[in-house]
Amino acid sequence: MRNAIRQAMTRATAATLGLALAIGMTAPAYAGPHMLVDIRSGKVIEHEDAFQKWYPASLTKLMTAYVAFRQVKSGKWTMQTPIVMTKRAAAEPPSKLGLKPGQALTLDDALKVLLVKSANDVAYAIAENLGGTMPNYVAMMNAEARRLGMNSTNFINPHGLPGGGQYTTARDLAVLVLAIKREFPQYSGYFSLEGVQVGKRKFGNYNKLIARFDGADGMKTGYICASGYNQVSTATRNGKAVISVVLGSDSLAGRTVLSADLLQKGLTEGTGFGDPTVYKLKPYGAARDQVSDISEMMCRKRGKKKKVVRSESTDEVGDKKTSPWVHQLTRPLAMAQITIIPAGKDSAAAEADAAVEEVADAGLLVVNGRKVSVPVPQPRPVN
């Protein structure tokens, strides 16, 4: 009974938002479109406004990564291909890694930073290096979207910063995730990293289900004012694997809780044989072709012109929502080490430099790339 009431309230609130957007009103906070899909069968377990066009924000980077995977599979590039930071890429707004033009990462490390730190400068650099130009890479992203049947999706950049013509749907994102999971299982580890470390800087994954929800193994989060808090999540447990898509949550905590609730339902409850697959679900929603923009709700104080400062790394709303399925992490995050390639050096030289730096404090030497227990000679004292 409680679930039925909640579902009815969600539908009513979504209808209110659609009306508000149509007439320019400020709508109340709510959980926007969402979807739950079984990975193995592709069956849709639950959906709400699955075809409503929405700003993807940094969920765009899922397609950025997918195109890179396809390029590597074709043999054009490898995971050791250097991704050199250009002047244009370095100028992209945060979130960013902050590399200087000429510095580089291997594609392997660039993808780790892309999916954990959600670095916009790295996304742009991947596009320029693998596509020749950013527009060429975006054209590749859109071509892949069409090939996969993501018929309500269009990209204008590789990172998801807002702009006209950038949109997707919960249904299309589920289709993309199925493609990633099925075509590239060897790259699943990129989406489940707890964090990355670049020098002394450590960045935890914005996906707060990783290492905190039993079975969580991906995938990506995103936030801009126009979209609210978005999250695509995957989890595997006891032979079941599911995808949840949450768009337009009003807080970081809210999207975490709803994502966890959906994943738990998908992992513990069965689905009927008559459920349609994500590919056969028929489009619905009278206002689905209008791209929803919830900027006024998300980033302006009620009744005031002043902008509210919000981000993906902190939840300024002070939301105390919790989930019984998300537990506290009582250990440090496991960090993947990222090597910055200095301008003019190749990746092998950069890795050697990183190894020297890593063991310098331990009083060890590196010989032919291997750590050896030889004390580093110390200068004699001056008499």
pLDDT for residue 321: 73
SS3 letters across 73-134: HHCCCCCCCEEECCHHHHCCCCCCCCCCCCCEEEHHHHHHHHHHCCCHHHHHHHHHHHHCCH
CA–CA distance, 160 with 167 (Å, rounded to integer): 9
Return the number of other C-beta atoms located less than 10 Å from residue 119's C-beta: 29
With 0-12 CB in 10 A as exposed, 13-18 as middle and 19+ as buried, what is 369?
Answer: exposed
End-to-end CA distance of the chain: 86
Whether 313 is a known active-site residue: answer no
Backbone angles phi, psi at 161, to 5 degrees: -60, 145
10-334 to CATH, choices 3.20.20.150, 2.40.10.220, 2.60.40.420, 3.40.710.10: 3.40.710.10
Sheet containing 240-249: order of strands: 44-48, 34-38, 240-249, 228-237, 216-224
The per-residue pLDDT for 344 is: 79
pTM (global) more than 0.85: no
Q: Which of these is catalytic: 118, 244, 292, 323?
A: 118
pLDDT at 1 (0 to 100):
38
Please confirm, yes or no, whether 118 is among the known catalytic residues: yes
* Annotated catalytic residue within 58, 227, 259, 347: 58
| 42 Cα distance to chain centroid | 21
List, for residues 191-247, the tens digit of each pLDDT value. Answer: 999 999 999 999 999 999 999 999 999 999 999 999 999 999 999 999 999 999 999
Polymer length of the chain: 383
Evaluate the CA torsion angle 284, 286, 292, 294 in order and state its sign.
negative
Residue by residue, pLDDT tens for the chain (383 residues) are 334 434 443 443 344 344 333 333 333 334 699 999 999 999 999 999 999 999 999 999 999 999 999 999 999 999 999 999 999 999 999 999 999 999 999 999 999 999 999 999 999 999 999 999 999 999 999 999 999 999 999 999 999 999 999 999 999 999 999 999 999 999 999 999 999 999 999 999 999 999 999 999 999 999 999 999 999 999 999 999 999 999 999 999 999 999 999 999 999 986 655 689 999 999 999 999 999 999 998 887 544 455 554 556 554 444 567 889 999 999 999 999 999 999 976 655 555 544 444 433 334 434 334 444 434 333 333 33
Three-state secondary structure of the chain: CHHHHHHHHHHHHHHHHHHHHHHCCCCCCCCCCEEEEECCCCEEEEEECCCCCECCHHHHHHHHHHHHHHHHHHCCCCCCCEEECCHHHHCCCCCCCCCCCCCEEEHHHHHHHHHHCCCHHHHHHHHHHHHCCHHHHHHHHHHHHHHHCCCCCECCCCCCCCCCCCEECHHHHHHHHHHHHHHCHHHHHHHHCCEEEECCEEEECCCCCCCCECCEEEEEEEEECCCEEEEEEEEEECCEEEEEEEEEECCHHHHHHHHHHHHHHHHHCCCCCCCCECCCCCCCCCCCCCCECCHHHHHECCCCCCECCCCCCCCCCCCCCCCCCECCCCCCCCEEEECCECCCCCHHHHHHHHHHHHHHCCCCEEECCEEECCCCCCCCCCC
Which of 61, 117, 208, 220 is the catalytic position? 61
- In the block, residue with structure tokens 């009974």: 1
Residue spans of the domains in the chain: they are: 10-334, 346-372
| pLDDT given for residue 322 in this prediction | 83
User: By CB neighbour count within 10 A (0-12 exposed, 13-18 middle, 19+ buried), where does 380 fall?
Assistant: exposed
61 has catalytic annotation:
yes
> Residue 261: its pLDDT value, please?
96
